[in-house]
């Protein structure tokens, strides 16, 4: 469901945990919410969301992960701005979203590409998993001169699950 079309909906985001077995994912809407609160815009001059709208985005992200379902980012409304779409998808993936809605079919390939791990990410994830497999009792390891621990292993497993 689109979880943030009204201000009241924001206060119910935690309730989705109780119905997770009937949910595939959770998304949010950046167009309805600003209108419902009387905001003149959802975005800053540079295209980024205003603070109240970014909060709704973040709360939806956390609610989806708390419910154990896919965190789906909202649409990117500028159909012909493919470079900007690619940058937006990159930020969405970086932030923890696992997918994104498309407003137009021309956007699907860019969205799919943006949520697909690169070969370098896959290689690194395999190295992290292999390092922990070779040292099953270790809590912290060194890989490529950097410290890695359980959160890095969890992230590596997510990357590998996405391929």
DSSP the chain: -B--SSHHHHTTGGGGGGGGGG-SEEE--TTHHHHHHT-S-SB-TTSPBPHHHHHHHHHHHHHHHHHTSEEEE-----TT-HHHHHHHHHHHHHHT--EE--SSGGGHHHHHHHTSPPHHHHHHHHHHHHHHHHSTT-SEEEETTEEEEHHHHHHHHHHHHT-
Beta bridge partners of 45: none
Active-site position among 84, 95, 123, 149: 149
Q: Is the Cβ–Cβ distance between 65 and 89 less than 8 Å?
A: no
Is 46 annotated as catalytic? no
Catalytic residue numbers, as ranges: 149
């Amino acid at each position: 469901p689109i979880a943030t079309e009204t201000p009241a909906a924001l206060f119910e985001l935690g309730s989705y945990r109780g119905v997770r077995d009937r949910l595939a994912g959770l998304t949010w809407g950046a167009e309805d919410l600003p209108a419902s609160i009387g905001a003149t815009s959802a975005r800053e001059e540079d295209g980024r969301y205003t603070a109240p709208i970014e909060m709704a985005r973040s709360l939806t992200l956390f609610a989806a992960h708390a419910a154990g379902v896919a965190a789906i980012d909202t649409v990117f409304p500028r159909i012909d701005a493919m470079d900007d779409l690619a940058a937006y998808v990159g930020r969405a993936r970086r932030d923890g979203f696992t997918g994104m809605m498309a407003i137009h079919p021309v956007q699907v390939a860019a969205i799919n590409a943006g949520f697909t791990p690169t070969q370098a990410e896959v290689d690194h994830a395999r190295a992290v998993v292999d390092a922990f497999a070779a040292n099953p009792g270790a809590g912290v390891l060194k890989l490529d001169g950097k410290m890695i621990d359980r959160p890095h292993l969890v992230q590596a497993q997510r990357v590998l699950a996405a391929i």
